[in-house]
Amino acid sequence: KAGVTQTPRYLIKTRGQQVTLSCSPISGHRSVSWYQQTPGQGLQFLFEYFSETQRNKGNFPGRFSGRQFSNSRSEMNVSTLELGDSALYLCASSLSGQGTDTQYFGPGTRLTVL
């Protein structure tokens, strides 16, 4: 079974631009979560989607948004990029996101904002 895939793997943008990242979960997984990872802040939860609905949201500004499609694929968007948005963005999928469902992570998208 294929793992979680994320595209693109690397991205360079400038301040003020916007960016869209894509995540394809493991087949059959319906929950997709997004995380931001930086050396200073560690791993931080952005949001979780299940059945095309945002089920949980972390403490990030409204510039960070996401959506999930009927095939469970998900995208996240960051508008008006800031230098501090430079990070590894990780997507993780699980069957339902409940109970002891294990989350499986993708390789991440490395975003650099100049």
* Positions in 15-74 near another protein (CB under 8 A): 31, 33, 35, 42-45, 48, 55-56, 58
Per-residue x/- marks for another protein, 73-92, CB under 8 A? Answer: ---------------x-x-x
Separation between Cα atoms, residue 14 and residue 83, nearest integer Å: 8
Q: What are phi and psi of 83, to 5 degrees?
A: -55, -35
Q: What angle do CA 23, 25, 11 make, to 5 degrees?
A: 20
Does position 106 bind another protein by CB under 8 A?
yes
**Shorter beta-carbon distance to another protein: residue 90 or 113:** 90
Please give the radius of gyration of the chain, using alpha carbons only, rounded to the nearest integer. 13
**Shorter beta-carbon distance to another protein: residue 15 or 57:** 57
Does position 101 bind another protein by CB under 8 A?
yes
Sheet with 19-24: strands ordered across: 5-7, 19-24, 74-78, 64-68
Site residues for another protein per CB under 8 A: 4, 31, 33, 35, 42-45, 48, 55-56, 58, 88, 90, 92, 94, 97-108, 110
